[in-house]
Amino acid sequence: MNKLFILAFLFFSTSFIFCQTNKAKPTETAKPFVLGVIDEIQSKELGEKRILNIYLPEGYKAEEATKYPVIYLLDGSADEDFIHIAGLVQFNSFEWINQVPKSIVVGIATVDRRRDFTFPTTIEKDQKRFPTSGHSDKFIAFIEKELQPFIEKKYKANTSKTLMGQSLGGLLGTEILLKKPTLFNKYVIVSPSIWWNNGSILNLDSPIFQENFSPQTDIYIAVGKEGLTPTEIPRVMEVDANLLTEKIKASKSKNIRVYFDYFPLENHGTILHPAASNSFRFFYPIKEKE
């Protein structure tokens, strides 16, 4: 009798525990939120593999003929500027806003900003402080010879190419604009570090200044209230951005369009988001209905 009682007790106890365990397990409904695609490219120019964070617009289908503008974003890591810039592009391409055509965003994940975004400097102090700096020529070659062909072959890209960079990324954008302007037809240059090598980039000549420069090129330059640069010889970020703008405005080409935007309420850390939004208004003005 005792054995029967013990068996019955064990049976009901086990059933109770099993039911409690099942009840404690919630139904598994969570799943990943997918914002884009993580791709990678092996670069011979840089001698390394580079990660690309890619946002594809709503309705994108590889099998369809529709092609899209491409925005190439420097500092495009997931923990840098990729997410908020991709969000701006998505928001501005909503049908009820229609400020920007549906676009692909290619975020180039950062490895070494000083190495990739700067040309060689003659300032000895900076040479010692930033020993890996001065190799923007390799990064530009990577963009021209590897990255753009890779994107245009693998994704539905049209001929509209925008480069977006801030700070040292703005310096690189300026260098590409002046040295190889046809790599992109739209440039977003925000808080550019013109101070690098004591502003020597302002002394460069460029094809964009010539009357016979024919590709339509739109350039948006923005700066916040940022003040003095980290240089021994005093320079001011706002002044440098203005000098760059005026230099471009002096171009003899009728196909160069430049806009300067000043954000007195933004600083070096906060300016990119509102500047990127304003750049879309410059590139894609909405015509008021008559």
Q: Per-residue pLDDT tens, the chain, 290 aa: give them.
A: 454 444 444 444 444 444 445 555 566 789 888 888 999 999 999 999 999 999 999 999 999 999 999 999 999 999 999 999 999 999 999 999 999 999 999 999 999 999 999 999 999 999 999 999 999 999 999 999 999 999 999 999 999 999 999 999 999 999 999 999 999 999 999 999 999 999 999 999 999 999 999 999 999 999 999 999 988 888 999 999 999 999 999 999 999 999 999 999 999 999 999 999 999 999 999 876 55
Whole-angstrom CA distances from 219 to 126, 127, 214, 259, 273 are 29, 30, 15, 6, 17
∠ CA 112-57-154, rounded to 5°: 65
Beta strand segments in 75-215, E: 104-108, 157-166, 186-190
Strand partners, 219: 187, 258
Q: Cβ neighbours of residue 27 under 8 Å, at least 6 residues apart?
A: none
Strand partners, 104: 70
Res 33: pLDDT: 87
Res 50: pLDDT: 98
∠ CA 91-192-126, rounded to 5°: 140
Res 17: pLDDT: 45
- The two tokens of residue 177 are 């604009």
Which residue do the tokens 């000549």 mark? 205
The model's pTM is 0.90
Res 29: pLDDT: 87
Tell me the three state secondary structure of residue 177: helix
* Residue 289 φ/ψ, nearest 5 degrees: -70, 135
∠ CA 124-128-130, rounded to 5°: 115
Res 10: pLDDT: 42
Res 26: pLDDT: 61
Res 14: pLDDT: 47
Q: Cβ neighbours of residue 142 under 8 Å, at least 6 residues apart?
A: 43, 45, 46, 50
Contact 165, 188 (CB under 8 A): yes
Tell me the three state secondary structure of residue 134: coil
> How far, in Å, CA of 119 to CA of 133, rounded?
7
Res 286: pLDDT: 85
Res 35: pLDDT: 86
